[in-house]
Amino acid sequence: MEAERPVWDEVFAAELVGSLVLVGITHEDPAGPRQEQFHGVVEAADPERGITLRLRGSRDGDLYYLPPDLRSFAPAAPGSYRLRSTGEVLIDPDFTTSWTINPPVH
């Protein structure tokens, strides 16, 4: 059974474009979860293709694609955010988002 697609908010999607986002991803794995953090600027938000980020910091210039689900984006509290994996400090991002990636079920 395919999950129902979340409602796309065109106004919020337009607000995301150009914003600085801190991303946290947990990769669930039989050996234990692995976490990564990175940040970037939203280049595009499309209901079919998803959210396109142009990364900054240690992954400067790379593109990263998130699913077209806006529910996980939340306004970030002002302040500095230290990325555990790289030690980078991000000052005053606009939004945070976190995701969990589960391995495929066989």
Burial track 94-104 (b if 16+ CB lie within 10 A, e otherwise): bbbbeeeeeee
* pLDDT for position 20: 98
Residue type, 62: D
* pLDDT for position 2: 56
**What mean pLDDT comes out for the span 83-91?**
92
Structural domain includes residue 106: no
Domain range for 38: 10-101
**What mean pLDDT comes out for the span 11-22?**
97
The pLDDT of residue 105 is above 90:
no
The pLDDT of residue 21 is above 70:
yes
Structural domain includes residue 1: no
* pLDDT for position 3: 64
Handedness of CA 63, 8, 3, 27 (dihedral sign): positive
Count of structural domains, the chain? 1
Structural domain includes residue 80: yes
Structural domain includes residue 69: yes
Question: What contacts 80, CB < 8 A, 6 or more positions away?
Answer: 89, 90, 91, 92
Asked if 75 and 22 touch (Cβ cutoff 8 Å), the reply is no
Structural domain includes residue 48: yes
Structural domain includes residue 45: yes
Residue-wise pLDDT tens digits, 30-85: 888 999 999 999 999 999 999 999 999 999 999 999 999 999 999 999 999 999 88
The pLDDT of residue 28 is above 50:
yes
